[in-house]
Amino acid sequence: MDARHANADDRKDDTNSPTTPQTMHTARAPRPMTDLERRVSEGLIAGEFPLAFQGIYDVKTGRLARVEALIRWMHPDYGLLLPAAFLVAIDHPLVALQLTYYVIGSACGTIANAQRQGQPVCPVAVNVPPRVVADEHFPATVMQIAQLHGVAPELLELELVETEDAARLLAAPLLTRPLRGAGVRLAIDDFGTGYSSLALLSTIDVDTVKVAREMLNRVPGCPRACAVVACVLSMLECLDVAVVVEGVETRALAQWLAQWPKVLAQGFFYARPTFDYASVPVQERCVV
């Protein structure tokens, strides 16, 4: 995911402290935390993890369709750290829960603050690791966080990340059905690089599929790569889901994607991440 490994252009003071319900469930830790896991947990409590926001745009019109929330670590000693430096900490189940609910709370707080100031808002997507989705208390906790901030569930999109634990996602429908019923949007992230993409599509009722940037590396220059991606996009179009293509960094790729009327795009060609939600461009480049 290109956005997760990109620097934010600027940073403004974050006035939205994430709210996590006091009743938030935490599973019993199976082992002691490593130094990094403990430090990440402490940093979350200390508010050292701001969110950066990157717009996702309609390829045909260039209009903002939604925003992805990207976590960063403002380390007191090392400065700005990208997720690659600390996401290994979510191997610990308690840290995974803490970080996920922190991000959801921060995103909801940002939406609520924008609404209070009369700013336009659109759905905000956050990443959810499989082990958190598999937690039986996950749906209730997400809804509780949204309600505490007064945020409509429709403004929250949960990206279910494909990893080695993808098998856990296959059991997700029973757990995520309450969220879907309440209006929370669901997405499959990094489609095309995981372990069970097609199985997930046939099992989970989702609103959005995010196509991994790795699938687009040779598009539009390589006919074979174009043929593969064209088949994938056409299949997804038949499923009547929103399609987000990650890693769009060139006009040539954006123009090629415009063949599919429902495609949304995310990448540096459109906008870089910013720590200020209000500064996410509402209208970006139109390539049609």
Q: What string of DSSP letters covers 12-42?
A: ----------TT---PPPSSPPPHHHHHHHH
Amino acid letter for position 129: P
Q: What's the confidence (pLDDT) of residue 206? A: 85
CATH fourth-level superfamily of 3-11+50-275 = EAL domain (3.20.20.450)
From residue 252, alpha-carbon distances to 190, 234, 258, 267, 270 in Å are 22, 19, 10, 13, 13
Along the 288 residues of the chain, how does pLDDT read in single tens digits?
444 444 454 444 444 445 444 444 544 546 899 999 999 999 999 999 999 999 999 998 999 999 999 999 999 999 999 999 999 999 899 999 999 999 999 999 999 999 999 998 999 999 998 788 878 899 999 999 999 999 999 999 999 876 666 556 666 677 788 888 899 999 988 888 766 567 777 777 789 999 999 999 999 999 999 999 999 999 998 888 999 999 999 999 999 999 998 899 999 999 999 999 999 998 876 766
> Which value, to the nearest 10 degrees, does the dihedral of the CA atoms of residues 105, 240, 1, 198 take?
110
The H or E element containing residue 262 is: none
pLDDT at 6: 43
The token pair at 64 is 């903002």
Q: What is the pLDDT of residue 22?
A: 43
Pairwise CA distance, residues 281 & 273, whole Å? 10
Which H helix or E strand runs over 63? none
Helix axes 35-46, 93-116, angle to 10 degrees: 20
CA 241 – CA 228 distance, rounded (Å): 19
Residue whose entry in the numeric block shows the structure tokens 């945020």: 151
**pTM of the entire predicted model:** 0.87
**Facing residues of 89 across strands?**
none
